[in-house]
Amino acid sequence: MSKEKISGSQIFWMISTMQIGMTILLTINPTVAIAKQDAWISILLSSMFSVGLAYILTRISMMYPNESLITYAPKIMGKILGHLIILLYVLYWFTVLAIILRQYGDFMIGTILPLTPVIIPIVGMIVVAVYVSFAGIEVLARCSEVLGPLILLGIMVPLLLNMSQVQVHNLMPVMADNNLLVLVKGALPTASFLGDNILLMMILPFLSHPRDGVKGVVLGSVVAGLFTLLSAMQCVAIFGYSTASRQTYPFLNLVRFVSFGFLQNLDSIVVAIWIMGIFIKVSLYLFAASYGTSQWLGIKRWRIFIFIAAPIAIVLSMIPRDFVDSSILFPKLVAVPFNLPVNFILLPLLLWIVGSIRNRKKKSGSNSGIQRNKRFHKWFRVKIESSVD
């Protein structure tokens, strides 16, 4: 492992800023379309899932301190299954990195750069991400620490300024039209984004104090879920679920709705803040893909692989034809039916359960060995004393 270390507060900002931006941008629309006025309940369920996943990942990390997925997966599951699990996550890192870049490019040309080829913002973002990832996880953590408060503030201010426009009756009735199954279905799009904290498998080993990091990880997931929940509630409360479900970016329209004295036309500021969040997310995925793949392949100079991973991500990002492919079909055909149940639920649970069993057996075997040694020393001492007598 690298000698770079990050603190518990830094990992809080990394998790919260990574998840908030694109989750608010892209998941409110599909959640409202499914759960209607109860979208906030669906987002609450997905937030609880995110916090639970973060807790499970911290428990695995504490069983195997200073180790990443690449080293502890074969120890837990054996070489064949362990390396198969690693392969699935390597494919996940590269695929999602490419999709994030394409979603970012589609967002930019759809809002502020309509006549720009989509590859231009994609290349611009990946170049900045390469620079930060090459500098290492410590620099990325410091960037999160600096940009994180700005991102949270940029989301909080529009929510506060629009409070006078809230129509509470748009959130009623609660669970009158939806059963639990519908609410769970509505939670899936948001959960597939909040499940991004699966990257903790590659980040937690860099914590200087692993136990202190548990609080930062869980709190970061809570903050991301809370801001998404409040944003969805306000979108529905102001526009109504019928209008909000037909908007591509409901929160962006919510920001444009702000009219508070001289504070108007804040959408350009919020777009800049979203770009900061996407930058953190892209950099973390690029770091995980480069560092994890290099560690898996036994390449010691892992930074060299960044210059291989970045072009691969750019090429993959050009496969989707448009916004529909990247932000509608991919979540519908890949993220929700595969990434969510397999990469975010099944494999982490499997690693945690099997790892706990192995760890418990190891401890019990060690304790029994200690007891046998004590009994032997006691028997040996009695024999010595009797022979002397």
pTM greater than 0.85: yes
Confidence of residue 361 (pLDDT cuts 50, 70, 90): confident
Residue 329 DSSP label: I
Residue 2 is predicted with a pLDDT of 58
Q: How far apart are the first and last CA of the chain?
A: 57
Residue 331 DSSP label: I
pLDDT, average across residues 133-157: 91
Residue 345 DSSP label: I
- At 344, the amino acid letter reads F
Residue pLDDT, tens place only, 179-233:
889 999 999 999 999 888 899 999 999 988 877 778 889 999 999 999 999 999 9
- φ/ψ of 6, rounded to 5, equals -130, 160
Domain 8-347 has CATH 1.10.3720.10: no
pLDDT, average across residues 159-176: 87
Query: Whose CA is closest to 118, among 107, 129, 126?
Result: 107
CA dist., res. 235 & res. 254, Å (int): 6
